[in-house]
Amino acid sequence: MIPITRRGFLKVSGGVAAGVAIGVPDVLHAATPTPEVQGRVNLPYPLHSIAKKQQLQANTPVPFSYPDASSPCALIKMGHPVPGGVGPDRDIVAYSLLCTHMGCPVAYDAERRVFKCPCHFSIFDPEHAGQMVSGQATEKLPSIVLQYDPKDESVHAVAVEGLIYGRQSNLL
DSSP H or E stretch at residue 11: helix 6-23
Q: Is the pLDDT of residue 27 over 50?
A: no
CA distance linking residue 109 with residue 107, whole number of Å: 6
Tens of pLDDT, residues 94-147: 999 999 999 999 999 999 999 999 999 999 999 999 999 999 999 999 999 999
Q: What is the DSSP letter of 86?
A: B
Q: What's the pLDDT band for 172 if we cut at 50, 70, 90? A: confident
For 68-76, the CB contacts below 8 A with 24+ separation are 68/171, 68/172, 70/172, 71/96, 71/98, 71/164, 71/170, 72/96, 72/97, 72/98, 72/105, 73/97, 73/144, 73/157, 74/108, 74/115, 75/50, 75/51, 75/144, 75/146, 75/155, 76/108, 76/126
Active site residues: 101, 120
The greatest distance separating any two alpha carbons of the chain, rounded to the nearest whole angstrom, comes to 92
Contact assessment for residue 105 and residue 99, using Cβ atoms and an 8 Å cutoff: yes
pTM of the entire predicted model: 0.76
**Strand pairing class (62-65; 48-52):** unpaired
Q: Is the pLDDT of residue 161 over 60?
A: yes
Q: Of 104, 94, 103, 99, give the one whose Cα is nearest residue 61.
A: 94
Residues of the chain above pLDDT 90, percent: 73
